[in-house]
Structure 1
Amino acid sequence: MELTSDDALNFSRGVERFSVLEFSPHFPGYPAFIGLSRLAAIWVEPVIATVWISLLSALLIPLLIARLVYLLSGSMPAALLGSALAYMQPLLASIAISGLSDSAAMMLFMLALIAALQKKDVMTGLWIGLMLATRPSYFPLALGMLMFPLWGGYVGSRLRAYGQAGMVITVVGLLSLGFIWFHDGIAYFEEGIRFTRGHFAIWGNTVEGDSASIWQWTLALMKGFGWLGVLVVIGSLLHAVAGFITKPVKVDCQKQVALIAAIAGLYWLWITVGQNPDNLRHWAPVLFLFLVVFPVQLSRLQKVSTVSGRNVSLAGVVGIGAVTYCLLTGYQSVYDVPSKAPIQQAMGWIKLNPQVRVVGSNYSVNLLREQLGSYAIYDMYYPSSKLALVNAAKRTPQSAWRISGTRLPRQQLIAELRPRFIGERRLYLYQISQ
């Protein structure tokens, strides 16, 4: 297991020494994820403890999807279908080995959904609180959970449900804040202001090209999942929500499925506005909530529809089609892929070529500095770095190289470093000429 990004490096550093001011990890600190990683560090090397947590969490997500589908439909075939479709997603593999908090937060949100369906308010609050302390950008998912007691069919006092869940969330939040305050004090809030401004103004929402974010997201999703896959997701979520709005039902599970679809839509709207479309891992909650909704819809379809009046279930045909589509797209995603992440491929290439002495990059700069200690590494965000590379190439030809996440015009492309799964960024290696 290897680290594959600066964010993963920040999390790894936080396992041994927590300080948001020192970017170990970066703001807002992710205290629950660091806590889980420190538990894992009891059994594995601290440097890869975060990768183990993301891997184990990802392996649990399909099982939790199966549990949710079964609670909503009572159908074991539907539950198995949801779990199978989840395990076949290349995006699941991508977040599993990322060393980031996505899969752990998604696992906790699934547990919160299960607790909410079972009317366990205290546990719902606990899982939501831990989810927010693991990945605060999942706040829209927590916001959507506010609708559960109001959606109908809720047994007991709604006010008490909000009170119990809210109390537990508050306790988890205060403990998390206390942990951060102990390490960084009031300077944490100053760093938060600086980081938030940078995220929305400079690095966090930068896309390839000048097109609008919504179009970039459309292109990224079409490339990763195909137009048919994206249309099925949109159609399934819209059908679940619109079907309830236009024809209200009294069946609790149908209301709950509609709510889960609405939460997925709310989160989709949030990432379109506030997250980078170059990182498809941000779309993971939408994908996995869809894999809860879709099998439940098929379980209902099985009860009412057959193909051309024959004894062939339409739901079965659609289910087999979905599995086939996932197998084909998944196979295309992993066929003949490299064994290492693009940034690790780049570092391997650099180490094998002794003429390389100076490297500029706009991606994983700190990871490069960490693992290529004898090289001069320049951050291409700064204009002076370009001049430094050109001067190095003048002094010693073939000594200066550039790693980029985008195609660069008028540069000598030496290698294209392919991703292993969707969600990883393709990188390009260039030689700087005089």
Structure 2
Amino acid sequence: MPDIMTRYRNTLFLSALVLFAFAIRFRFAGQYAESWDAVDFALALQRFDIFHMQPHFPGYPLYILTAHLFANGTTDPVQALTCLSVCFGSLSVIPFYSLAKRLLPDQQAVWIAVLLFVTSPLLGLAHVQPMSEALGLFAVLLYVSLLACSLNSKKPLVELSMGAILFAIVLGIRISYFPVGLLLLYPLARLYRQRSGLGPFLLQTVGAGCLFLLALAAWLLPTAATEGGLVPYWQLGKAFTAGHFTEWGGTSFSSEAAWWERLQTLVWDRLLVNGLIGASSLSDGIPLPVWLSASLLAAFLVLGWAGATDAFRRGEASVRWFLLLAVVPYALWVFFGQNSEKARHLLPLLPWLYLLLGRGWAYVRSKWRGPAGALVLHSLTVLLLVSLLVRQWTVLQQHLFPPPALQLVTYVQQHFPAEGTIIYTWEEQRLFDYYAPEYDTERLRSFDYFAQSLQLRAPSVSRVLVTNAVLDGFGPGVHLPANELARFNADPFLYPSYHTVVLYELSPQTIERIASGMLRP
């Protein structure tokens, strides 16, 4: 009976946390397509076309298909995408709880990790955006919690087979989460150790592989068919991948930053400050004062060190291998293959941080056994969780306001007619395409291309507007005399790349000098 009552209380408390997370996220659900990718997804709900970036490769077919279920209740694609994020972001507490139950030493540590998960400002933000991360993280947690069953399973073939199917589903939602597939090596290794012979093992392995291929083909073949077949789809993929790694992706291969600088940015700025505190810097965690943000980070570091020490000293070797397979491949992928400016790429790593902190909390509690130590620990824990919840609430409130790039679009609509106006932009162009398609926009960051475009367009336009992203892209050697018209700002934590958007206008004299070739770098 006590076990039944304990399970009942745990289920009740977990349900309350899910409803609490849903209530907050629904209250602050995003209303705008705030980025290039968000516009891609919104347009995909109207017409699925990978060639025209609706959405971009590989098409996110299972994400778009799921979003269509939410689109039946609204005429606004952005609202449908946001509702999807709210629902699955809230439900992701359940598989995370299941994972924590299997990896943490006691129930109190489990609840600490779950509460950190629920109050996370970065996760809270991802769960109210019209993006694929919320559904993707839910699928990853479901997949990982299933594979965690193989830690003590006597039949790892079940986890291997089901995990293979779930991994194919993860790829259909967010293919950039592919490194988590290496975690399938764990149940495969357990299956090998329990083999009755090499033949049966190979047969079982091939069977699990066939299940993966069937699940993959279930979404890959229909998606490729929308682009004319596998060959055109493959060609689209090659072109997109080349651009991601060599031009605009912000990866280690296209960035000018040294690798040690990227490592510092990834660990300090993204993982610790963005991921744990929920701020762009320790001084920007409004309304938390700097000293409190610094104290929270120090507490996280202490708990993390305690958790890592305890896990690798007393934890089982099998659990350590499971954790390494779950974390290291994706961490390497984030470092080498993802844009270091965007903290959202780190989302699959955050649950592991919270599990580490939960284990560290349990370790510290075991050392502070007296009433005074327990009182201090629980008081500090309450302060930490309340601070994170306050920061999350502030972030979600700020997110309700239009992003700077959309404020730019609104300003142009209010102050300039579409006829005779051209706007040179970078990624802001996609928001013009969605919210103000009547305006003539051009996306560029090369001065030579800019000069060539002006030569062709100067006779037919009366107003030339440019954004700071364009001017910054020209490089330090180019200084255009431009008149600043408006500046739009927001918290860099919300919009890492476009938290400040500045609109400039070029004078007729400047346009003439550029078009005639008199003004050059």
Asked whether the 8 Å contact 2:408–2:488 carries over to 1, the reply is no
Of 130, 137, 161, the match for 1:106: 137
The verdict on how the C-alpha distance between 1:223 and 1:71 changes in structure 2, with shifts beyond 3 A counting, is closer
Asked whether the 8 Å contact 1:14–1:25 carries over to 2, the reply is yes
Inter-partner Cα distance in structure 1 for 2:458 and 2:502 = 15
Residue 201 of structure 1 deviates from its aligned partner by 0.4
User: RMSD in angstroms over aligned alpha carbons?
Assistant: 3.9
Q: Note the 1:210-229 alignment, pairs <5 A.
A: 210-212=256-258, 213-218=262-267, 220-221=269-270, 224=274, 225=277
CA offsets, 1:69-93, max 9 Å, x none?
2343474443333333223222223
Asked whether the 8 Å contact 1:13–1:25 carries over to 2, the reply is yes
In structure 2, the residue matched to 1:385 is: 450
Asked whether the 8 Å contact 2:464–2:506 carries over to 1, the reply is no
Inter-partner Cα distance in structure 1 for 2:195 and 2:299 = 37
Of 14, 28, 51, the match for 2:44: 14
Q: Note the 1:152-171 alignment, pairs <5 A.
A: 159=201, 165-171=208-214
Inter-partner Cα distance in structure 2 for 1:268 and 1:257 = 16
In structure 2, the residue matched to 1:80 is: 111
In structure 1, the residue matched to 2:429 is: 365
Of 326, 329, 335, the match for 1:266: 329
Given the alignment of the two structures, is residue 417 of structure 1 paired with residue 481 of structure 2, yes or no?
no
Asked whether the 8 Å contact 1:94–1:281 carries over to 2, the reply is no
The verdict on how the C-alpha distance between 1:151 and 1:286 changes in structure 2, with shifts beyond 3 A counting, is farther
Question: In structure 2, what residue type is equivalent to 1:41?
Answer: A
For normalisation by structure 2, the TM-score amounts to 0.70
Give the structure with higher Rg (CA).
2
* Counterpart secondary structure, 2:442: strand
Inter-partner Cα distance in structure 2 for 1:368 and 1:379 = 11
Asked whether the 8 Å contact 1:379–1:385 carries over to 2, the reply is no
Of 47, 56, 66, the match for 1:26: 56
Of 407, 423, 433, the match for 1:345: 407
In structure 2, the residue matched to 1:89 is: 120
- Of 89-98 and 409-418, deviating more is 409-418
Asked whether the 8 Å contact 1:54–1:96 carries over to 2, the reply is yes
In structure 2, the residue matched to 1:280 is: 343
- Of 236-245 and 422-431, deviating more is 236-245
* Counterpart secondary structure, 1:43: coil
Of 178, 181, 189, the match for 1:139: 178
CA offsets, 1:11-44, max 9 Å, x none?
2333343332232221122222122122222333
For normalisation by structure 1, the TM-score amounts to 0.82
Residue 265 of structure 1 deviates from its aligned partner by 3.8
CA offsets, 1:323-361, max 9 Å, x none?
255246546646766612222222222222236832221
- Of 388-397 and 6-15, deviating more is 388-397
**Number of residue pairs the alignment of both structures matches:** 429
Asked whether the 8 Å contact 1:13–1:24 carries over to 2, the reply is yes
Inter-partner Cα distance in structure 1 for 2:242 and 2:443 = 19
Inter-partner Cα distance in structure 2 for 1:430 and 1:223 = 30
Residue 403 of structure 1 deviates from its aligned partner by 5.3
Inter-partner Cα distance in structure 2 for 1:273 and 1:163 = 31
The verdict on how the C-alpha distance between 1:216 and 1:75 changes in structure 2, with shifts beyond 3 A counting, is closer
Residue 273 of structure 1 deviates from its aligned partner by 1.1
The verdict on how the C-alpha distance between 1:376 and 1:33 changes in structure 2, with shifts beyond 3 A counting, is same
Of 214, 227, 233, the match for 1:188: 233
Given the alignment of the two structures, is residue 130 of structure 1 paired with residue 169 of structure 2, yes or no?
yes
The verdict on how the C-alpha distance between 1:234 and 1:423 changes in structure 2, with shifts beyond 3 A counting, is farther
Inter-partner Cα distance in structure 2 for 1:235 and 1:126 = 38
CA offsets, 1:134-176, max 9 Å, x none?
1111111221342255479x98889487556534322211112
In structure 1, the residue matched to 2:216 is: 173
- 5+ unaligned residues in a row in structure 2: which ranges? 1-30, 151-157, 283-293, 508-521
Question: In structure 1, what residue type is equivalent to 2:141?
Answer: M
Residue 421 of structure 1 deviates from its aligned partner by 4.8
* Counterpart secondary structure, 1:282: helix
Given the alignment of the two structures, is residue 374 of structure 1 paired with residue 438 of structure 2, yes or no?
yes
* Counterpart secondary structure, 2:226: helix
Given the alignment of the two structures, is residue 431 of structure 1 paired with residue 476 of structure 2, yes or no?
no
CA offsets, 1:218-242, max 9 Å, x none?
5642653457567776776676566
The verdict on how the C-alpha distance between 1:175 and 1:236 changes in structure 2, with shifts beyond 3 A counting, is farther
- 5+ unaligned residues in a row in structure 1: which ranges? none
Of 335, 349, 367, the match for 1:305: 367
Inter-partner Cα distance in structure 1 for 2:333 and 2:147 = 23
Asked whether the 8 Å contact 2:121–2:388 carries over to 1, the reply is no
In structure 1, the residue matched to 2:91 is: 60
In structure 2, the residue matched to 1:47 is: 77
Asked whether the 8 Å contact 1:339–1:420 carries over to 2, the reply is no
